[in-house]
Chains A and B, each alone.
Chain A
């Protein structure tokens, strides 16, 4: 039941690959003995590798809360899961959710970064304001939005006031559109982080290049499309990868807003796992989490590879 790939993991992957690229220059200087790694490695092995490995093993057993004995059952759990259809549905919902979050979070983050690019006093304050949701508890965010989006909630109250009619839209009650609403909430919570990274990316762009473009008479939009956006490639890689892979592991925001409803239309794999675990079917829950792990891995490698390919222009 361990998290599969957090933003930190992705940045770790990036760091190591960067280190590999510059490795030639730094090598030879033996100022970091390998045994310095041991304390960190020990923690990583005990709290990450071993649980992950257990995750793999228990998926092939019949571990449950009903019996003390644990026996191997081979692929039984996988066969039952794939036959029932619920797993595939949960996987589909998870993918749709992750793609929506990745799109919204990056779109909002990029727009905010462009709007708040200049280092004025006001912009600094506004940046902080937009970053606050990132450090807020995801459950708290979820519950607040759940209250705002109720049929008799504040959002409908505002809409009623503006339109002059009584509005009672069930924002979280539609089997088609609620997943979009929840993805928007998730994106809202994390857009500050994307904004920060895009801001940092924008700052690294050489002024000479932009000045040259200006002298050539390029408009703001042309400059952005032809120069600034391509040069933002590393920030895009990080943001898209973390948003997409992070929301594949999404749970808290959805649990707080819809609990997987209405009608199972927002039942992410993690919510399904949580429900199965709660039934005492520990092995089945573990099997699902293994499936999620594999799904994220299958998605992560080609995605990061593709995004890094874009960085070759640098």
Chain B
């Protein structure tokens, strides 16, 4: 009995110690100064300064040419560390436990900047030297949270839209791409009548399912839908978003999608579109990267086209991803923080032309030319950015697992109403955790 009491006493003491020490280890180590930072010249000497960049498995080669150029110019030592997938989860966990790099690839959307607790953990990039040289339409498109710039966009953000097989269209006698949602769906029905599978969806890999809902919400998003959702004035279960989910469900039930929608994967989707087994797929840029890994630019230019779609017309829905942007962390070491800013201004300044050429990607700056090797479809994607609106991830304060719930709907374990409810519940939970007003 005495022994039990002793054990209880020890446990109680230990617990009280822990209760007092119960604070977030990721907090408070950064510099608290939020004023505009100084921007060192891109060629300032940085001998002996070590910088760490965290990158994902699909973005760890992106900085190669920039890092080499920067190291040569300044004498800094830049180390790119690959964080294994799931990348975002890995980084959030590391940052929450107090482990921070100098720079990291990060999805520059409001929801993902919030998830990283940007105000505490990230450097403000306001007044950065590259902003003036960026194309006007892309300047403030993303990377901003509560009027502060936290992310530097290095490549064009991904756009959700329709990738189609030009040869299938041609065979069916279609010469112009649909101009709005109704003609888009009518085209699907016409193609089906001709024995072609109009749309291809990857139900097993799940993540692309949400694009079908997002693109239908483009007009509403322009009209402030996500502002209302963010303040709990409108819900996922209200007619606008519920309606988009219902439409998607209806199209699947109508048989406008591939027969193997439940088991099809991302790779299957790319193969099917390339082979002309299906006419169209609503997808983002990484889908095109997948196509590029299967064939060359000439074939892609011949076979694959892109058009944006929304209820009212050809409006794209943009969704920048992790490989599109970088954030700079508050590490508490003023010298390294300045060096991080210097690296970014080199990347988007003197080093940008070389970067764009080496990556054969579209330039974000009028002063730097896009290389001729960029495929047509990607140019079409980039063109659509001028009028594009942000997706849920870009505009909403939290990013619920809508895609998982939609995939459940495809498998038949959730009704469209249950999808909306599950999404709303999760969104409310996340918003509440952030301390958002109205939740």
Binding site for B on A (CB under 8 A): 50, 53-54, 57-58, 61-70, 80, 84, 86, 150-151, 170, 173, 175, 259, 261-265, 274-275, 277-284
Contact = CB atoms under 8 A, between A and B. Distances in A.
Interface stretch (B11-19, B220-228, B231-239, B283-291): B11-19
A53 B22 contact: no
Contact of B263 (A170, A274, A279): A170
A280 B93 CA distance: 8
B65 interface: no
Interface residues of B, number: 46
A175 B413 contact: yes
A151 B263 contact: yes
B57 to A, nearest CB: 15
B115 A280 contact: yes
Interface stretch (B70-78, B161-169, B188-196, B427-435): B427-435
A278 B400 CA distance: 11
Tell me what chain B mostly uses at the interface: helix, strand, loop, or mixed: helix
Interface in B394-428: 401, 404, 407-408, 410-414, 422, 425-426
Interface stretch (B24-32, B132-140, B314-322, B345-353): B24-32
Nearest to B86: A278
Interface of B: 11, 14-15, 18-19, 22-24, 26-28, 86, 88-89, 92-93, 95-96, 114-117, 120, 203-204, 206, 260, 262-263, 401, 404, 407-408, 410-414, 422, 425-426, 429-430, 433-435
A262 B204 contact: yes
Contacts of B206: 259, 261
Given A170-B263, A275-B401, A278-B86, A68 B120 contact: yes
Given A65-B117, A70-B22, A70-B23, A175 B433 contact: no
Contacts of A265: 411, 413
B203 to A, nearest CB: 8
B392 to A, nearest CB: 14
9 contacts: A57-B15, A61-B22, A66-B435, A175-B413, A261-B407, A261-B411, A263-B407, A263-B410, A278-B86
**Pairs A-B, 5 closest by C-beta atoms:** A263-B411, A263-B413, A68-B27, A278-B89, A64-B433
Nearest to A89: B413
Contact of B22 (A57, A64, A65): A57
Contacts of A263: 407-408, 410-414
Nearest to B27: A68
B262 A173 contact: yes
Contacts of A62: 433
A102 to B, nearest CB: 25
Given A53-B18, A57-B18, A70-B23, 10 more contacts: A65-B92, A68-B117, A69-B23, A70-B24, A173-B204, A261-B204, A261-B411, A263-B414, A277-B89, A279-B430
Contacts of A175: 411-413
B14 A277 contact: no
Contact of B433 (A50, A53, A170, A280): A280
Contacts of B404: 264, 275
Contacts of B434: 64, 66-67
Contact of B96 (A65, A259, A284): A65
